[in-house]
Amino acid sequence: DQHDGIEKHTQSGLDLIDRYVKFVKERLEIEQNYAKQLKQLASIGLYKRHSRRGSKDDQEMKFSNQQAFQELLSELNECATQRESMAENMNQNICMELTKYLQELKLERKSYLNEVKKIQQNLETSYKHLEASRKRFEKEWKEAEKANLQAEKTEQDPTSTKADVDKARVNARQHLDQSDECKNDYASQLQKYNKEQNRVYRTDIPTIFNKMQQMEERRIRKLAEGYSLLADIERNILPSVIQSLEKIITNSSSTNEKQDSLIVVEQFKSGLFPPADVEFEDFSQGVRSAGVENTHHTPKVRIKQLFKKNKEETSSGEN
């Protein structure tokens, strides 16, 4: 009979379920916050699906590297959605389910413990009745012995009359009869108590403890299912996550740097010819000495013309 030990052990089992539920709740909160932050991060870089024609977003979406980045953000958003779904499944299939199961276990365990307590209380009550019966028998037997000794003493006393002797004998007989009744009652109570005690410790309590053992085994199986379910729920989203990652890799491979460069060339080419050469402005031709009367100004000429004139003068000098 290790009632207290069993009670503490089953309570620790219930506490473990409660601890696991709290653990999963904290885990899914982490997943929800992670998914929320991923979506916020993805939304910052995502272009609007229906951008105005000719807008900056519309222009940049012509480039393959921009398209690949947009697909990356889109798939990242999809991964975040999968994380949200995973967190919701954890809440419904683990937290809510185990919380409900925990309440059922508490009620079941309480009923078993109350039943054991009631059985023990009834047995204690029976034992008290047995003790009371034993003490009455003990008391009456001592009184009977005392009365019997008094009767023998009266019979042996030469001064005692016949009436005294008869009275002493009647008194002794009455006490003896009373002690016999107490003895029979004590024997009956003892038989009843032993029978009840055997039933309690051989049938009643073992039956309840067997039920508690089955309850404990069910609790362990249910908790183990919760452990496994945590992994299964996350494993179920992996194909979708892997698919998103594969799409990112595929889109990354489809970028075309040469095509993007040609788009830039086509976008910014003007079709105009290069600008003409800059003319040389010879300010020194307008400078004359103070004694020269003719203030004729030499017109501005192109740099190429000056170079041509100097070349002609050089050629004529050589000739």
At 62 the pLDDT is: 85
At 109 the pLDDT is: 96
Q: How many CA atoms lie within 13 A of 121 on its CB side?
A: 6
Provide the Cα torsion 161, 167, 168, 174; round to 10°. 170
> From CA 180, how far away is CA 199, in angstroms rounded?
28
**Residue 44 φ then ψ, to 5°:** -65, -40
Q: Which residue, 109, 93, 139, 107, is CA-closest to 231?
A: 93
- Residues of the chain below pLDDT 50: 50-51, 289-319
**Cα angle 233-235-237, degrees, rounded to a multiple of 5:** 80
> From CA 240, how far away is CA 278, in angstroms rounded?
64
> From CA 52, how far away is CA 48, in angstroms rounded?
9
Distances (CA, A) of 215 to 10, 94, 104, 115, 204: 9, 19, 11, 15, 17
Which tokens sit at 189? 């109570």
> From CA 243, how far away is CA 262, in angstroms rounded?
32
Cβ(236)–Cβ(78) below 8 Å: no
Distances (CA, A) of 30 to 21, 24, 137, 169, 203: 14, 10, 74, 94, 50
At 266 the pLDDT is: 84
Fold classified for 3-268: Substrate Binding Domain Of Dnak; Chain:A; Domain 2 (1.20.1270)
At 202 the pLDDT is: 94
Q: What is the pTM assigned to this prediction? A: 0.72
At 154 the pLDDT is: 84
Cβ(234)–Cβ(43) below 8 Å: no
Which tokens sit at 179? 């002690």
Which tokens sit at 270? 């003007």
At 108 the pLDDT is: 97
At 214 the pLDDT is: 97
> From CA 104, how far away is CA 110, in angstroms rounded?
10
Domain boundaries, the chain: 3-268
Q: What is the DSSP letter of 11?
A: H
